[in-house]
Structure 1
Amino acid sequence: MKVKALLAVACLIGAAAPAVATGGYSCATAGAAPLRLAIVTAHGVAPVVAQVRLTERGRTLSSAAPGARLLIAQSWIDSRELKLDLTDTGLQRYEARLRARITGRLTAVGTITRNGVTRPIRCTIEQ
């Protein structure tokens, strides 16, 4: 009887836990040396950027621990746009600034600024 009661309690606790779905964006610039962003988002009450990986010319910077080299300074996601400011972990300089408009159900287009250069970028929304 105790086993059944414990199983019932475990099921109730699991059912009461909040559901957090993940998704994200896969972004890239055009050209011979594309800059790529992999953005992981979590969706709860509001979407939030959980993790970012920036790859350029074979070098990757990430906000994921251990050894994080990027900091998500600010982000904004809604049904119309995606904004993301990435800095070094010491908050001394911007590593990248993304500004994109959601243009369709699965796409966003905009610009990314890195090292003083602004380039067009296209993102695919991954659900």
Structure 2
Amino acid sequence: MRSVLGMVWVGLTGCAAAQTAPPATPVTSAGAGKSGPVVTSRAQCLALKGIWRKVGVQQLDACDVPTRDGDKPCRSSDQCESLCVANTDADPAEPVEGHCYASFMTVGTCLSEVSDGRIVRAQCAD
């Protein structure tokens, strides 16, 4: 009986360790369906005027690169480098004017994407 419990314990702890191991490469900056620059080092990030930081539940290294059109009014994401998003207090049942999201990094955020002047999806990424 003890050996069975010991094997179960080893099996469970092995699974837990495998689930929390971070990937070998850093997270890249990207919006849903769009990609920012692929940055794999702190030096590259700083050269792009980005912020090198830990993101997400696993606290992985990532570069938060700003867009050139952040806060510009928009009606769809095709008008933005990253995403067209609504203000947090926007009514999903009403037409909205969005604004271009000021970053390619969507990890650790909750955003309401705008398409054709309507909120089409609310998403949280972690």
Task: Give TM-score, length-normalised by structure 1.
Answer: 0.30
The structure with the greater share of residues assigned to strand is: 1
In the superposition, the TM-score normalised over structure 2's length comes to 0.30
* Higher relative contact order, chain-length normalized (CA < 8 Å, sep 6+): 2
Structure number, greater radius of gyration:
2
Q: Counting helix residues as a fraction of each chain, which structure ranks higher?
A: 2
